[in-house]
Structures are given as C-alpha cells and as structure tokens.
Structure 1
Amino acid sequence: MKRLITVATGLLLTLHLQAQTLSEKVMQQTCDCVSELTSLQQLQDSLQDCTTKAMVAVMQAGTAEERETLGRVEGITGVFKDVKEQLPDYCYNMRRLVVEGKTKEFYKLSANSKANKHYDTGNQLMDRGDYPGAIKAFEKAVKLDRNFVYAIDHIAVAYRRQENFAEAVKYYQQSLEVFPEGNLAHLNIAVAYTFLNDYDNALKHYKQLAYLYQDDPEGYFGAGKIFMLQANYADALDNLFTAHRMYEKAGSAYKQDSEKLITIVYGELKNKGQLDLFMQKAKEFNIEIN
C-alpha cells in the first residue's frame, strides 16, 4: 500500500442534522453546563441545578408547544427522567467526570495495610515468574478487601501470563463488577477474549472502552482489529483510521501498528476488487494515499 498521509485540517464529515427533541435540547444545554465542572463531586452537587437551568433556557427559546410541555408537572417530570436515563450516553463530559472520579476511588492501594502486604508479596512472586504463588498472595489481599481492584486485576494478569485466558476473563469480570468503567480490565479482557477466539465479547469490551474513554485510541484500535478479523472492513477502517489519527496527533509510535493493520485491510480489499471502499473511507477521514 502507498504511504498514509493524514491531512492536518481535520475530519471532513458530512453531518446529517436532525431536529432535536425537547429532551435532547435540554440534555445539550445540561451537557454544556457540565463541561464547566472539574470533578465528580461537583457533578453530583450541580447536576440538578444544571438541568433546571437548561430547562429554563430551552423554555425561553423554545416553541409554544415546548413551553407548554415544560409548563406542566408531567412534562417537567418526563424531561427530568429522560435526562437522568440518557445524559451519560449523550454527554461525554459527564462520562469523563464519572470515570475520573471512580478511577481515583478504585485505582489505588487498599486502605487495609495487610491487604497491601499480600499485594506486594504477589508482585514480587510474579516478577520471579512464580505465578501460582502470586495468585495465592493476591487472593489473600482480595479476601481482606473485596474491592481491591489492583489485586483482582493482578490475579487476572498472572493467569494471562500462564496463557490461562479463561481464568483471566473470570477475574477481569470480577474487577469490572467492582469498577465497571475500569479501562485496564476492559482492555485486557478484550485481549483475553481475542485469544479465546471469542470475537463478539472482545468487540463488546473494545467498544465500551471507546465509549468510556473516547480520547484514548486503544478502544478504536482494538475494535478495528476485531472487525478486520471478522472481515467487516468498513467498520474496521472507521476504527483504525480513528486510532491512527489519534496516534499521529499524540506523536505515538503505535501509529506504526495502526498503519500495519490498515495496510492489511488495503491488501484484502485489493484482492477482492473493493479498493473503492478503502478510498472512500480514506477520503472520509481526510487521509491521502501517496
């Protein structure tokens, strides 16, 4: 394949604008308010106020029908319900604050000093290649602190290094039960599922990673790889081009990995006589092929 050149002017996307519903207008205003916050505590303290201000702003600028809806108790209740249920999906700023707050809560050592000692012992044993011994030490740590995500994740790591991917999955799932937004668990369980040839579950976790951490290329790169393995080349290119642009912007050496996979997709499409799809996707992402 010829060399990829990413044009610096950004993506040239065709936006299909649709009329927003009343709840979507309120969510947009609420999300704008949330974007000014800097912590999970601020989000928890300010979300209702942000939503109320958003309703007032939408009511003032809205249609007669929208003003009538927001003038009724059932209308206000319905919009509040929509915002509560849908805002995390609609608003990345909200997801970001939740993830940042919970990361600080769970990605740390235990408050139980004995649990930390077992965790340290487990790391020492794992460094020496004694994975069964490390697992026993980490399990002792988790027994003392059921929410000790570091220790749970390290049990999974020890099993993964022994290529026992089924057991690794089991403990990454346990980790995600404690911290559902954990990026390390989502990334590594996806890798484990890939080794087990369970591409559907691998893709589910890569997608969740991209959803929760949309500024991190790893979710897109992983999803692109799985789509490629499934011969879904259109979605593969969407994700691989997204990851490639992010790697380039960050000056990351991983851009070589994304370029390798993109080259493989190029070859597959060339063999199938479908290079038009590749060129179409490259154009969508404003990437020139020289």
Structure 2
Amino acid sequence: MKNNQIFFILFISLGMISYAQETEEEVDPAIEVIAADACECLVDIKLDAAKKKRYNSINDCIETASNTFQMTEGIKNTLGIGKDSTITNDIIIDRDKYKREVQSALLERCPKMKLLMSSDEVESEVSISEKKKAVEFYEQGMDFYVKEDYKNAIKSYKKAVRKDKNFAFAWDNLGLSYRKDGQFKKAVEAYDKSIELDPTGAVPLMNKPIAFLMDGKLQEAILAYQDYIRVFPNDAEGYYGISRVYIETKEFEKALDNILNAFVKYNEVNSPYARDAEHVIQVVYNNLKENDMLSIWDQYLKKYEVTVGE
C-alpha cells in the first residue's frame, strides 16, 4: 500500500476490545436491516469463485443493501412515514462505518457468509479420488460433518482414505473432524498426510497450526504458521493467525508486526476479515500499553502506512 493509507478507529480509552462490539440493545437497527438484506444477496455468490472475486461480490451486496436502505428510508420520510426515526430527509450514511459494522454482523450471523469466508479448498491432481467407493465414503463424511456428528464423519473419512490413500480432500476433512472432536494429535497426523500428497494444500497448512494452538502447543503452532506463510506469503491468513499466537506467548512486537501486515493484506483484497484484524490490533495495543511498550507503536504504523484515529 504505497499510494494511500488505511484508516481505522482505535478505542484507546478501554482496556478491552471495543471496536464494533455492541450488545443487542445497542445495535443500530439500520445495521440489522442492511445485514439481513446483504445476507440474502450472498446466496447467489458461488463458493468456488476466486477469493478476491468472492470478497468483491460480498462488498457489492453490502453496498447494494446500503443503497436500498437509504432510498427506502428517504421515501418513508418524504411521505411522512416513520417520523420517530432519527433519519431525516437529508440521509447521510457513513459508508465506511456501516460497511465495517455490516461485515461484522454478517460474519457473526449469516450462514452463507461463513461458508464464503471458509471456502479455500483449491483442487490439485491428488485432491479428488477417481475411486467410486472412496468418493461415496467422502460424501457420507461430509453429510455427518454438516450435522456436527464428528465421530461418524471420522469413520466415513477413514473409510475413504482406506479406499484411496492419495485422496487429499478426505485427509483434510478427516483432520477437520478430528479437530472438532478434540483429537488434536490425530488431526495433525491427518493434515500431515495431506501435506505429503500436496505440499501447497491451503486447508491442511492453515488448519495444522490451529490444531496445535487448541492443544496448547504454542511453539508448534508458530512453526506451522511459518510454514503456511512460506507457501502463501501474500495471504493475510498466516500473518493473522501467527499474530494471535504471539499474543499468547507475550511476544507483542511480533504480534503487532504480523497483525498490521494481515490488516493491510485483508484491505488490499477487500476482505471482510479486516474487521477481525482490527479487533486483534486493539488487543495488541492494550498489551503494549500495559507492558510499557508503546514506543514501538508508531514505528510499525508507519511501516505499514496505517493511520489510527482516536
């Protein structure tokens, strides 16, 4: 980001994450209306679309929903409807503010949004099996997984990889199912099998450090995130994930460096996950402040050309 700076609001007066977090009573009704409308729009976005295209389509839906809301409220006021509303005939929507808050609402409450943001499976030569029975067991596993029946999902995926030991997607989903079932060591073993088949597989490389983290193995998680970053140096996910581990290990300078890198990269591709990065930046700031380390704050903001408003 060399030509323009990225801006976000930092609530430095609070000792916790406060950005874009409100109780149900405090949620702006306009955000709920726009988010509900945008969520319906997301249905038409294909899961297998390229990541950047998905992000752009998501934000197009938010923009359309915001425009529709603004137009509808303007008509209501012109007709004298809803006079108790705080919206006037001169409706002005702070688009950046609304966009951030609608993105957060969608990430929390829109099922299709969650699917779109988690669909990163990229097919390779070993991803899909040509063996009919392996595919049948794989599909059974997917059905169990969707129903959150992880034990039966594990049984089905194990049958799939017995039929075809080179079925990478089955190893991936076996790892995900083990992780959901709390069997973190076995999850890592399954991810490693998939990585052996395809060293550039995004799903096992990203989920392996998560399994280590959930198992309390922080140093192993850091090394696994570093592996992901080596393969995908331009993807924000690795930097975001490792920054959270560095918070746990109290390596706050490394956490700051990586989360700002993630924040910039998310914004470069118009990713809604920039909202999550803002939350983590807040946490890092609070830790720097508590540990008398704020002297490095401006240095890293300058490095990544990020502007903070108080």
TM-score (norm 2): 0.59
The answer to whether the 8 Å contact 1:7/1:287 transfers is no
Match of 2:169 in 1: 150
1:285 equivalenced with 2:304 (yes/no): yes
Match of 2:239 in 1: 220
Larger Rg: 1
> Which residue identity lines up with residue 136 of structure 2 in the other structure?
K
Q: What do you get for the CA RMSD once the two structures are aligned?
A: 2.0
Distance apart, 1:119 and its partner CA? 0.9
> Which residue identity lines up with residue 172 of structure 1 in the other structure?
Y
* Structure richer in helix, relative to its length: 1
The answer to whether the 8 Å contact 1:123/1:134 transfers is yes
Which of 250, 258, 271 in structure 2 is aligned with 1:252?
A: 271
Report Cα offsets for 1:118-138 as digits up to 9, x if no partner: 111121222233322222221
Equivalent positions of 1:76-225 (< 5 A) are 103-107=123-127, 109-225=128-244
Unaligned segments of structure 2, at least 5 residues:
7-121
For residue 271 of structure 2, give the secondary structure of its aligned residue in structure 1. coil
Which of 233, 251, 257 in structure 1 is aligned with 2:252?
A: 233
For residue 104 of structure 1, give the secondary structure of its aligned residue in structure 2. coil
Report Cα offsets for 1:87-137 as digits up to 9, x if no partner: xxxxxxxxxxxxxxx952133x20111211111112122223332222222
For residue 288 of structure 1, give the secondary structure of its aligned residue in structure 2. strand
> Which residue identity lines up with residue 121 of structure 1 in the other structure?
Q
> Which residue identity lines up with residue 124 of structure 2 in the other structure?
K
CA distance in 2, matches of 1:284, 1:130: 46
CA distance in 2, matches of 1:123, 1:138: 8
Distance apart, 1:261 and its partner CA? 1.0
Distance apart, 1:288 and its partner CA? 2.0
Change (3 A) 1:248 1:274: same
Change (3 A) 1:274 1:128: closer
The answer to whether the 8 Å contact 1:7/1:288 transfers is no
- Matched-pair identity in %: 29
Change (3 A) 1:167 1:9: same
The answer to whether the 8 Å contact 2:144/2:152 transfers is yes
CA distance in 2, matches of 1:256, 1:236: 17
> Which residue identity lines up with residue 177 of structure 1 in the other structure?
E
CA distance in 2, matches of 1:129, 1:268: 36
CA distance in 1, matches of 2:291, 2:232: 34
Change (3 A) 1:129 1:268: closer
CA distance in 2, matches of 1:119, 1:219: 28
For residue 307 of structure 2, give the secondary structure of its aligned residue in structure 1. strand
Change (3 A) 1:256 1:7: farther
Distance apart, 1:225 and its partner CA? 1.2
The answer to whether the 8 Å contact 2:5/2:307 transfers is no
For residue 106 of structure 1, give the secondary structure of its aligned residue in structure 2. coil
- Equivalent residue pairs, number: 194
Report Cα offsets for 1:63-89 as digits up to 9, x if no partner: xxxxxxxxxxxxxxxxxxxxxxxxxxx
> Which residue identity lines up with residue 196 of structure 1 in the other structure?
D
The answer to whether the 8 Å contact 2:200/2:231 transfers is yes
Equivalent positions of 1:53-64 (< 5 A) are none
> Which residue identity lines up with residue 265 of structure 1 in the other structure?
V
Match of 1:89 in 2: none
CA distance in 2, matches of 1:143, 1:214: 34
The answer to whether the 8 Å contact 1:139/1:155 transfers is yes
Report Cα offsets for 1:168-206 as digits up to 9, x if no partner: 122112222222221110111111100111111111111
TM-score (norm 1): 0.62
Runs of 4 or more above 3 Å deviation = 6-11
> Which residue identity lines up with residue 161 of structure 1 in the other structure?
K
For residue 145 of structure 2, give the secondary structure of its aligned residue in structure 1. helix
Match of 1:44 in 2: none
